[in-house]
Amino acid sequence: MNKLLLGLASSLALATATFAQDAPEEITIGYLNLVNAQLVTKNLGLVAKHMPGVEINYIKVGGGGDMLRAIAADQIDFGGLGNPPTAIGVARGLPITGTMVLNMLDFVEAMVVRTDAEIKSFSDLEGKTIAAPFGSTTHYLLLQALADEGMDPAEMKILDLRPNDIAVAWSRGDIDAAWFWEPNLDKTVKDGGNIFMTSGIMEKRGYPTWDVGVVMNEFAETYPDYVEKFIAAECEGIDYWIDNPKETAAIIAEELELSLEDATRMMRGTEMVPCERQLTAQYIGTTEARGGFVDTLIATSDFLTSQDRLPASPSRETFEVFLEPSWLETVVANR
């Protein structure tokens, strides 16, 4: 309700005067329930350090589908999205802009199969029950992998479950395989499962998946310098992750209530990209020339369109406008 009133008030403010405001009273950050440097930034209070006097709210979001809903309902200022939900959001005209690379997904997202289900190749999946959170990176990779193997998804039962529900369904023996992510992935591996395919292997096959930081356009127009402050804080978190692996593992273990050993392994499954490198051609690119993320978004939205999940693929220009390197460039230049 408060959020709604705030939203109303700020849109009124926008309507009457479009000049940038000094400082927001509070910001809301929606972070994905997965293993990346946002947990470090959150745990060390880096965003608060860069924004003194601003109230920082963190909301944990289960997956890309839920994040899209939170964005559509204007419940967050900053969020994170994998490439498939990003393609969906941009294609459907959500008022968001991509700001930075949160993480590249390696074996932190993987397909687990029940060991006694004897699944050795994709063709063994025929007639099996497989779960994935629909609309997320792993649902996209599952369908993409099946398409590459020439298999029809109708030959198996593909269920839409959230990561938490997958863990519950797995422990009851309701599903044979699932493509999802840590920290819940580990529970299934320890409970009679083994890893059959990882998102890292799919990246080598030409299907990279990643999460990109997004900001609501209205927020970015009103408080452009706070977008930079947010990015600076996340960059600091990423550097901390790279420079202090031991301390980071302790933070991840604390945030996700894991053992230190598990946290260390999960960390290795996520690749952090230093902010300087994010401006290269492989990632976001620069204001003059956007990088490979645009190509990934186009490939993703073309695939989703072929799956009847999107009415039409947006143009390259739409994705180039969505990905805005200027804030990141300022942050990197000032470091």
Partner 1 sequence: MKDWIARTSLALKERLLARSTVLSALTVVSMFAAWEYVTATGLANELFLPAPGAVWDAFVKAVERGYQGNTLQVHVGISLLRILTAFVAAVLVGVPLGIIMGLSKDARALLNPIIEFYRPLPPLGLYTLLVMWLGIGEESKFALLFLAGLPGIIITTTQAIWNIDPIYARASQALGANFWNLIWHVYLPAAGPTILAGMRISLGFIYTVLVAAEIVAATAGIGWMIWDAAKFLLSDVVIMGLIVLGLTGVALDLVMRQIGRWLMPWQSRSKT
Give me the residues that bind partner 1 (CB under 8 A), please.
Answer: 65, 68-69, 72, 88-89, 92-94, 131, 134-135, 154, 157-161, 165, 168-169, 172, 174-175, 308-310
- Measured from the CB atom, is 88 or 279 closer to partner 1? 88
Which among 22, 137, 7, 21 is positioned nearest to 82, based on CA atoms?
A: 137
Q: How far is the CB of 134 from partner 1 (least distance, A)?
A: 6
State how beta strands 177-181 and 109-114 pair: antiparallel
- Angle 317-320-322 from CA coordinates, rounded to 5°: 110
Q: How far apart are CA 205 and CA 201, in angstroms?
A: 6
Q: 110 has which bridge partners?
A: 180, 198
- Measured from the CB atom, is 89 or 98 closer to partner 1? 89
Cα separations (Å) of 335 from 81, 231, 331?
Answer: 26, 12, 6
Q: How far is the CB of 212 from partner 1 (least distance, A)?
A: 17
Give the amino acid at 322: F
CB 297 within 8 A of CB 308: no
Q: How far is the CB of 66 from partner 1 (least distance, A)?
A: 8
Which among 84, 99, 105, 151 is positioned nearest to 124, based on CA atoms?
A: 151
Q: How far is the CB of 24 from partner 1 (least distance, A)?
A: 23
Q: How far is the CB of 271 from partner 1 (least distance, A)?
A: 27
- Measured from the CB atom, is 14 or 169 closer to partner 1? 169
- Measured from the CB atom, is 140 or 223 closer to partner 1? 140
- Measured from the CB atom, is 165 or 324 closer to partner 1? 165
The widest CA-to-CA distance across the chain, in whole angstroms, is 64
- Measured from the CB atom, is 14 or 159 closer to partner 1? 159
Taking the CB of residue 118, how many other CB atoms lie within 10 A of it?
10
Task: Extract the tokens encoding 148.
Answer: 């590459």
Tokens 């030959």 sit at which residue? 155
Q: How far apart are CA 311 and CA 293, in angstroms?
A: 21
Taking the CB of residue 45, how many other CB atoms lie within 10 A of it?
11
- Measured from the CB atom, is 158 or 177 closer to partner 1? 158
- Name the strands in the sheet holding 78-82, side by side, starting at the edge strand that comes first in the sequence: 55-61, 26-32, 78-82, 210-216, 96-105, 270-271
Q: How far is the CB of 176 from partner 1 (least distance, A)?
A: 13
- Measured from the CB atom, is 27 or 185 closer to partner 1? 185
Give the amino acid at 300: T
Q: How far is the CB of 116 from partner 1 (least distance, A)?
A: 18
Q: How far is the CB of 92 from partner 1 (least distance, A)?
A: 4
